[in-house]
Amino acid sequence: MEPIIAGNWKMNKEPGESRALVQKLMELTGDVKDRIMILIPPFTSLASVGELVRNSRFKLGAQNMHWERSGAYTGEISGLFLKAVGCDYVVIGHSERRHVMGETDEMINKKLKTALEIGLIPILCAGEKEEEREAGKTEAVIERQIKEALKDIENEAHKIIFAYEPVWAIGTGKTATSQQAVEVHKFIRGMLKKPSTILYGGSVKPENVDTLMKEEEIQGALVGGASLKPESFARIIKFTKDS
């Protein structure tokens, strides 16, 4: 399978800035062939970015969704609306949603079920905090997150893209070593019955992407900060295993 490079813009880029970023990115990646490139802008930019990338090699994803299809859920967004503006992917269970917005494993499980039912490809994030790693609890945390997320849908796990995002590496400049990432990727893979795609996320940058992507266990990257600048994201997209 082609490697996946996804840019999670988080709460950055209003619609005008989003368009400018995409236009520049398209110029810089015109020659890219064997990569799946996913842009994950904030909700307010989905429609305009969706227009720009239609019929291009870029795919569109959203950062979150609600588990219900419609109803009295003020401030929430239905996965059906995401599909309507051109999303193929949706991030579920990002650590910022788990730890800053209080999202639980149960909510994540409900969101995953709905995403699969309506035909969005979920990018399910899992990752341990620094104190959990230091206490030797990394595998226990990942196991709980994945198990609870997949409750009653274990047989559909192969339709999900997994992303290992150690919380201590997100936005900190501290990247997991290839060995640390590979260990957890193998652990996640060991929990799944069928082959699945597993991405790494956490301070992926032009300077470290080549080393990370050399590992067969790492099938792509979920990029935060470095996806906000067209030059750095284009360089990440164009990673090479030959350096």
Is 223 a binder of ligand 13P (CB under 6 A)?
Answer: yes
Report how far residue 85's alpha carbon sits from residue 95's, in angstroms, rounded to the nearest whole number. 25
Q: Which residue is nearest to ligand 13P (CB)?
A: 224
The answer to whether residues 61 and 6 touch, using CB atoms and an 8 Å cutoff, is: yes
Which residue, among 2, 83, 79, has the nearest Cα to 37 in the 3D structure? 2
Show the binding pattern over residues 59-98: x = contacts ligand 13P (CB under 6 A), - = does not: -----------------------------------x----
The answer to whether residues 157 and 199 touch, using CB atoms and an 8 Å cutoff, is: no
Give the distance between the most distant pair of CA atoms in the chain: 53
Q: Measured from the CB atom, is 54 or 99 closer to ligand 13P?
A: 99
Catalytically annotated residues: 94, 165
Which 7-66 residues touch ligand 13P, going by CB under 6 A?
Answer: 8
Report how far residue 180's alpha carbon sits from residue 178's, in angstroms, rounded to the nearest whole number. 6
Is 232 a binder of ligand 13P (CB under 6 A)?
Answer: no
Show the binding pattern over residues 164-193: x = contacts ligand 13P (CB under 6 A), - = does not: -x----xx----------------------
Both structure tokens of 142: 């990942």
Work out which of 122, 225, 235, 239 binds ligand 13P, going by CB under 6 A.
225
The answer to whether residues 228 and 12 touch, using CB atoms and an 8 Å cutoff, is: yes
Binding site for ligand 13P (CB under 6 A): 8, 94, 165, 170-171, 201-204, 222-226
